[in-house]
Chain A
Amino acid sequence: GAVVSQHPSWVICKSGTSVKIECRSLDFQATTMFWYRQFPKQSLMLMATSNEGSKATYEQGVEKDKFLINHASLTLSTLTVTSAHPEDSSFYICSAPDRTSGSSEQFFGPGTRLTVL
């Protein structure tokens, strides 16, 4: 199947700094990517839908000024956590549907563990 990568796989930062997480579709083009957040022992919660060439669509309750999403190309979406605080520590996961295959099956990245000290 198609592959989605994320970078970095883990990051530790100080409170108040910004962190950028990349999500790449390696062997297909993705006009849409999804960003999820997973708390320990809990489910994945959709944060936003990233759209290539246009603004991201944020879910209710997600601060768009804090979680900046840029979908600069058909294979790359970035999530920047600005002025990170300890409560932003979490596991961030992206996914992308491969619409070119005809099935629109979603493929998930391996996730990025963010720890804010």
Chain B
Amino acid sequence: GDSVTQMEGPVTLSEEAFLTINCTYTATGYPSLFWYVQYPGEGLQLLLKATKADDKGSNKGFEATYRKETTSFHLEKGSVQVSDSAVYFCALTQEYGNKLVFGAGTILRVKS
């Protein structure tokens, strides 16, 4: 079945550092790919998405590019802030609006 693999955390960075969280997937066909963020005590929120190969999703300074050839969707941000501290989940779906397959989540801690 489909699966998503994320780099293990926690990832600890200083403010204004560059962030990369790796995500690779195994799936048939051309799934849609997502990054969700979960702030402490809150539910998951969609951060960005890409629905086809070479699409770049971006939001709040975060971006990720759908790479079909490497089956990857790595999350990047050029300068992180303390407020970015959260858990980040990579996910995919074979049918938009249908069930999601999640990676294990990566805890990000940003120090001031």
A77 within 8 A of B: no
Task: Determine if A93 and B44 form an interchain contact, defined as CB atoms under 8 angstroms apart.
Answer: yes
Knowing A44-B89, A109-B43, A111-B43, say if A104 contacts B97 (CB, 8 Å).
Answer: yes
Inter-subunit contact A108/B105 (CB<8 Å): no
Bound form: Cα–Cα A32–B100 in Å:
13
Q: C-beta contact mask, B88-112 vs A, less than 8 Å → 1, else 0?
A: 0100000011111111110100000
A106 at the interface (CB under 8 A from B): yes
On chain A, the residues within 8 Å of B105 by CB distance are: 41-43
Q: How large is the interface on B (under 10, 10 to 19, 20 to 34, 35 or more residues)?
A: 10 to 19
Residues A105 and B46 in contact, CB atoms below 8 Å apart: yes
**Please, how many angstroms separate the alpha-carbon atoms of A102 and B43 in the complex?**
23
Closest to B34 in A: A106
Q: When the two chains form the complex, which single residue of B41, B45, B101 contacts A108, counting CB atoms closer than 8 Å?
A: B45
| Residues of chain B contacted by A49 (CB below 8 angstroms) | 99
Give residues 60-117 of A contacting B (CB, 8 Å): 93, 95, 97, 99, 103-106, 108-111
Tell me how far the C-beta of B100 lies from the nearest C-beta in chain A, rounded to whole angstroms.
7
Give Cα A72 to B97, complex, Å. Answer: 20
Q: For A43, list chain B residues within 8 Å (CB).
A: 89, 102-105
Residues of the A chain whose Cβ atoms lie less than 8 Å from the Cβ of B102: 36, 43-45
- Of A36, A42, A106, A110, which one neighbours B46 at CB under 8 angstroms? A106
Complex Cα distance, B2 from A46, in Å, reads 13
B69 in the interface, Cβ–Cβ < 8 Å? no
Q: Considering the complex, give the chain A residue whose CB is closest to the CB of B4.
A: A43
Q: Which residues on B are within 8 Å of A, measured CB to CB?
A: 36, 41-46, 89, 96-105, 107
Which residues does A use to contact B, with CB under 8 Å? Answer: 4, 32, 34, 36, 41-46, 49, 93, 95, 97, 99, 103-106, 108-111
